[in-house]
Amino acid sequence: MEREEIVREVYETVMKELNLQRCDGICLGCEECIVQNPQGTQAIIDAGASRISSSLGIFPTNKEIAKFIDHTLLKANVTESDIRKLCSEAKEYHFASVCVNPYWVPLCHELLENTDVKIATVIGFPLGATPEEIKVFEAKQALQNGADEFDMVINIGALKSDNLKYVFEDTKSVVDAVAPNTVKVIIETALLTDEEKVEACTIAKEAGAHFVKTSTGFSSGGATVDDVRLMKAVVDGDLQIKASGGIHDYETALEMIKAGATRIGASAGIAIVKG
């Protein structure tokens, strides 16, 4: 079977699964009514129910959501005082990590040593078009400087040029360079077709990554609920999902978590936690 046919088959299977989840008032026994049918759920509560069963579990409050958040500061004009403030906030609110450019990793390591906050950095950021060898060097250098997690951008141009072998090798080389540390593969969903998103997620899984991530936040669009659902359908049970780009409040972050995200990348972490 040709690769295009395999991708199409995977894509159609995923979309069929996603469409089944849109119940349109017909109960499919999925127990996802809290998300799929909020009006019906509220009617049940109004009628006297004190608890609602859902396979989606219990969602975090605005304070609990801090452990989902990579507190992010990646702009070019960031100063040392900005990074010190970022780390101070991360310690205060117990964010999952700070996410910074590689230059700032040593300072973050100094400021966050012996805390529960991890240090995430970006590789091949934000375009993903640097050669594989440069990404590997960048990742190894950041690891030596104290980084715990690595958010790498795939080679988007290679993916769209159908050079999937290179995309796989590019991704796996970074995964291997920092193993067993966490690698999040940024696929930049705003620039991809749904079929290409399936390809990118599948490659990340095969390369041994730990997360697929929606966006850099520096392209034409950020995270969407539909993209998170699609990514989850492809990698569910194998990789986690990080939603990033355009998430500025608690409600949006919670929608991403409901759709399947287990990590949120945001520069508005304080606003999200404060609801």
Q: Which structure tokens are listed for 165?
A: 């072998």
In the residue annotation, 213 being an active-site residue is answered as yes
| Secondary structure of residue 225 in the 3-state scheme | helix
Q: Which structure tokens are listed for 212?
A: 């697929």
Strands 240-244 and 149-153, sheet pairing: unpaired
Strands 211-213 and 69-73, sheet pairing: unpaired
- Which residue type does 262 have? T
CB 248 within 8 A of CB 266: yes
Please identify which of the residues 70, 148, 151, 170 carries the catalytic annotation: 151
How remote is the C-alpha of 174 from its chain's centroid? 17
Please identify which of the residues 172, 197, 232, 242 carries the catalytic annotation: 242
In the residue annotation, 135 being an active-site residue is answered as no
Please identify which of the residues 118, 184, 213, 258 carries the catalytic annotation: 213
Distance CA(243)–CA(194), nearest Å, equals 16
CB neighbourhood size of 96 (10 A):
23
In the residue annotation, 151 being an active-site residue is answered as yes
Q: Catalytic amino acids?
A: 151, 213, 242
